[in-house]
Amino acid sequence: MKELQGWKDIPIGTAIIEAGSSIKYLTGGWRDNRPEHNKDKCTNCLLCWVYCPEGAIIVKDDQVTGINYDYCKGCGICSAECPPKVKAITMVKEPKLM
Amino acid sequence: MARLAALTGNNAAAEAIRQIKPDVFAAYPITPQTEMAEEVAQFVADGILDTEYIPVESEHSSMSACIGASLAGARAMTATASCGLAYMWELLPIAASLRSSVVMAVVNRAFNAPLNIHCSHDDSMGARDSGWIQLYSENAQEMYDNLIQAVKIAEDETVRLPVMVCMDGFIISHAVERLLLLEDKKVKNFLGEFKPAYPLLEVNNPVTLGACALPDYYTEHKKQHSEALRHSIDKIMGVANEYAKLSGRSYSLFESYQLADAEYGIVILNSAAGVTKAVVDKLRKEGVKAGLLKIRVYRPFPAAQIVQALKNLKVVAVLERTDSFGGVGSPVFTDISAAFMEASTKEKPLMVNYVYGLGGRDVGLEDIGKVYANLQAINQRGKIEKSFAYLQARE
Amino acid sequence: MSDLIEIRWHSRGGQGAMLAVRTLARAVIKDNKYAQGLPEFGPERMGAPIKAFNRFSTKPFSLYCGIVNPHVVVLLDPSITKLVDVTEGIYADSKLLVNIGLSLQEVREKLNLKNGKIYVVDATRIAQETLGRPMPNTPMMGALIKIVPVISLEVLLDEVAREFKEKFTSRVVEANLAAIKRGFEEVSGE
């Protein structure tokens, strides 16, 4: 569990003094469906990267290398935007915890 | 050498602002503050004052501009009154909880309706819970002195809170009186440089201010603000002591006038305290042990000190230029009552609350004289029949 | 001048009473005395009857309120006596300075002034002749410091010259200074 700080320990005036600290806030913890990327089919048109509202498409050297599930919220936009002839991203059911 | 001056309250405030030399002054003119806003604009236009004067389109914007400027590291000031203060309401707690060091001159004026441009304390009293420090001034000299001290208090690293400095509209803002001004250089040295806690423009140490805090952290931010305001009382006194050395004029949390051995006391703020002093002098000559407690620092409220100062009196009247409609009494009365409730002392005066001077209704020697007569009558009866009353309302 | 002198001005909005009380206060303070120039808290319409107040003293005072018992009443516009009791609260020996072109006896009868000591000066005529406009405030300032000698004529002229120079042409400044001098010279009393 996350340790919450007391009022004496937080910076004054609501300041968040650690730049880019929101990266620690993993927003991808809850999804019904997850996108799966097929590297063999992918043409690297990067439309998924353009449209992903969470910046969860991992790109290295102009190549899509995968999905960052820490931030992916499972909206399916990447899969919808992937050209019909390519179909490199498909949405699959998240495994149930229980 | 101090400079002898003949100025209105507005002139005096503008002169203080010129010497304080804010980096940013963002204000919207409103009666009875207008002369002050105009005069500061004139200083800037004449090249006498090197300040970014932002002629905003509303008070909502003036306070927004000041908050941003202050958090970025600029010395930011503004001035307003009445509806203008009401219009910046949304921003007041933001300025405070973000721990900005904005200093604002408030020229106390009544709230409408009916439309009125004259003095009541509705505006600043209404803003008493916004988390600002509040200083009240009897006359132009005190307004000038309080403004300079306010900047030092607001910018102190142990305080970092905005300060509202109030004076009475028209009665003080528009009246010419005698006062002493400090040399420009002395004010400059007294105030020094403003160093913000987390300057917004420091690109190597980027920070976020005022981001969302959910129920898990909101309480901690407010607790921190609350503690800071309560503890600012020490620094307010520290600054007063430093200022006394500089100016020869001493200030405290409140002024006690003939209070030490007094039996009958009036608690009052701002200009009417002057009239009350004259009545106290007259009554003392007649053998009546009258006294006065004039509150200077209303937020943070010096509860323990006020209890100590009033506990041995027989009867006390708290006179207020505003009504907390539907409340137990007006704000100061309610605070003092609560302070006695909380205090360990058993001694306690009988206490009444009178609303006076609304919308600029003149309060003269006779009005205050009647209050002291009432207090003596209450003492003779040994009980209070009516604890809350309008002093000057015609039946 | 040892004690507090309280002066109540009666005028109509636009006649310059406000400027007069402020300028007088500044002049007295510059002479290293204590003074206050206080506006009334009433209507602001041009022509509305208004009051303004001056307090002069050699010692500090803290009266931030209107004047109920004046030592001097200044009437910038005598027609105001039809609307308000200008003698309200005056002492038996209070001075009434009236801007009017009548004799002292006529003034007492016409304005129905029962008590107080009357002084007259035809400030409107002086203003008309010096300034070319019926602005009686500056000649009345001159007349007032003649009957209440808190400051010398020179101190008042210096202050008016300094203040007016910022707002008016030198011709207007000179005309006002001449009006003050004439008010000072032409005031007469019982």
Q: Residues C27-50: what's their mean pLDDT?
A: 88
Which residues make beta-bridge pairs with B317?
A: B266, B352
Model pLDDT, residue C41: 64
CATH number listed for the domain at residues B254-390? 3.40.50.920
pLDDT tens digit string along C114-157?
788 999 999 999 999 999 999 999 999 999 999 999 999 999 99
pLDDT tens digit string along A71-95?
999 999 999 999 999 999 999 998 7
Which residues make beta-bridge pairs with A81?
A: none
Whether residue B184 contacts residue B19, with contact meaning beta carbons closer than 8 Å, is answered with yes
CATH number listed for the domain at residues B3-247? 3.40.50.970
Taking an 8 Å cut-off on Cβ atoms, the answer to whether B207 and A15 are in contact is yes
Model pLDDT, residue C1: 40
Query: In Å, how far is B187's CA from the nearest CA of chain C?
Result: 23
Closest to B178 (Cβ–Cβ): which among C35, C64, C65?
C35
Q: A6: nearest CA in chain B?
A: B220
The enclosing domain of C83 has a CATH number of 3.40.920.10
Which residues make beta-bridge pairs with B76?
A: B24
Given pLDDT bands bounded at 50, 70 and 90, which one contains residue C45? Answer: confident
Which residues make beta-bridge pairs with C97?
A: C74, C119
- HSE value, Cβ hemisphere, 13 Å, CA-based, for B151: 31
pLDDT tens digit string along B285-321?
999 999 999 999 999 999 999 999 999 999 999 999 9
pLDDT tens digit string along B329-356?
999 999 999 999 999 999 999 999 999 9
Taking an 8 Å cut-off on Cβ atoms, the answer to whether A8 and B198 are in contact is no
pLDDT tens digit string along B129-143?
999 999 999 999 999
Query: In Å, how far is C142's CA from the nearest CA of chain B?
Result: 19
Task: Tell me if chain B has a CB within 8 Å of the CB of A60.
Answer: no
Neighbours of A92 (CB within 10 A): 10
Taking an 8 Å cut-off on Cβ atoms, the answer to whether B198 and A5 are in contact is no
Neighbours of B319 (CB within 10 A): 26
- DSSP code, position B251: -
Taking an 8 Å cut-off on Cβ atoms, the answer to whether A14 and B211 are in contact is yes
Render the burial of B283-317: b for 16+ CB within 10 Å, e for the rest. beeeebbbbbbbbbbbbbbbbebbbebbebbbbbb
Which residues on B lie below 8 Å from C39 (Cβ)? 170, 174-175
Given pLDDT bands bounded at 50, 70 and 90, which one contains residue A36? Answer: very high
Q: What are phi and psi of B136, to 5 degrees?
A: -115, 145
Residue type, A13: G
Taking an 8 Å cut-off on Cβ atoms, the answer to whether C21 and B176 are in contact is yes
Domains B3-247 and B254-390 share a fold: yes
Domain that holds residue C145: 5-189
Model pLDDT, residue A96: 65
Here the ipTM equals 0.92
Q: Residues B52-66: what's their mean pLDDT?
A: 98
What is the C-alpha R_g of chain A?
17
Q: Give the range among A27-36, C5-14, C97-106, C117-126 with minimum mean pLDDT.
A: A27-36
* Number of domains within chain C: 1
Given pLDDT bands bounded at 50, 70 and 90, which one contains residue C14? Answer: confident
Task: Give me the residue spans of the domains in chain B.
Answer: 3-247, 254-390
What are the structural domains, with CATH classification, of chain A? Answer: 37-93 (3.30.70.20)
Q: B215: nearest CA in chain A?
A: A4
Q: Between A and B, how many CB-CB pairs are < 8 A?
A: 54
| Angle, alpha carbons B308-B312-B314 (nearest 5°) | 135
Reply yes or no on whether the pLDDT at B223 is more than 90: yes
To the nearest whole number, what is the mean pLDDT of chain B?
97
Instruction: Please choose, from the candidates B84, B77, B132, the residue with its C-alpha nearest in 3D space to the C-alpha of residue B107.
Output: B84
The answer, yes or no, to whether B and A have at least 3 beta-carbon pairs within 8 Å is yes
Model pLDDT, residue B320: 98
- State in Å, rounded, how far the first CA of chain B is from the last one: 53
Burial grade of A63 (CB within 10 A; 0-12, 13-18, 19 or more):
exposed
Task: Tell me if chain B has a CB within 8 Å of the CB of C34.
Answer: yes
Q: Residues B119-130: what's their mean pLDDT?
A: 98
Reply yes or no on whether the pLDDT at C33 is more than 70: yes
